Chain A
Amino acid sequence: ETGVTQTPRHLVMGMTNKKSLKCEQHLGHNAMYWYKQSAKKPLELMFVYNFKEQTENNSVPSRFSPECPNSSHLFLHLHTLQPEDSALYLCASSQDSGDPYNEQFFGPGTRLTVL
């Protein structure tokens, strides 16, 4: 595997379910990001991790819980979601989050549908 991978690619869940999204980067980067891409809104940054430490939480509801066990893996744990949370969830990585010149590399996304 190369670049940034995300699993699953598609997920359908009920509002009472608990599920997790997984992101893995094979680029040796130290920063990882979660974005939400909704049909009617611009891409929104959700969380930033730099060297496994969370450095940004963009006022995301607590029903979204990120986890970064190491610099290569990032999870987004989901519970009691709402239908309006249906979106494409994109993961990205960069060398580190402190240098604005570092390019972010994106994964293919997980298409989430909440019923």
Chain B
Amino acid sequence: AQTVTQSQPEMSVQEAETVTLSCTYDTSENNYYLFWYKQPPSRQMILVIRQEAYKQQNATENRFSVNFQKAAKSFSLKISDSQLGDTAMYFCAFMNNNAGNMLTFGGGTRLMVKP
């Protein structure tokens, strides 16, 4: 079974600064996907960024980028130029390529962006 660990329950960052959220996972699989989801207060969870394990290049989506270290089983999310709207719970998630579309989530990190 896979496990996903987010070691930072809460973090804060000043507006316009950069913050990195940590995620580690444990799996014996070689083919898998990793995701970061954002859940704003009282709003729907949305996908922020996704990484295929077979790709060495780190995924980037505008101000969001990841640092994927496959050997270390680490998948951190970097948010650049933080905005007030980035305040949310962030969940790291794992999907085994051989198990269909089933996500295993970490416990989440609550990020507060301060003005």
Contact = CB atoms under 8 A, between A and B. Distances in A.
A12 interface: no
Contact of A45 (B97, B102, B108): B102
B102 to A, nearest CB: 6
B27 to A, nearest CB: 14
A96 B95 CA distance: 14
Interface string B19-62: 00000000000000100000000111111001000000000000
A22 to B, nearest CB: 16
Contact of B100 (A42, A44, A98, A103): A98
B4 interface: yes
A94 B103 CA distance: 12
A102 B108 CA distance: 22
A106 B44 contact: yes
A52 to B, nearest CB: 16
Contact of B45 (A41, A97, A101, A106): A106
A8 B13 CA distance: 35
Contact of A56 (B42, B91, B102, B106): B102
Contacts of A99: 100-101
Nearest to B50: A103
B107 A96 contact: no
Contact of A55 (B4, B42, B100, B103): B100
B101 A42 contact: no
B105 interface: yes
A100 B107 contact: no
A108 B46 CA distance: 10
Interface in A41-70: 41-45, 48, 50, 55-56
Contacts of B106: 42
Given A43-B103, A100-B96, 12 more contacts: A4-B44, A43-B105, A48-B102, A56-B100, A56-B102, A98-B101, A99-B100, A100-B99, A102-B101, A106-B46, A107-B44, A108-B43
Closest 5 CB pairs of A and B: A43-B105, A106-B45, A97-B101, A42-B105, A42-B107
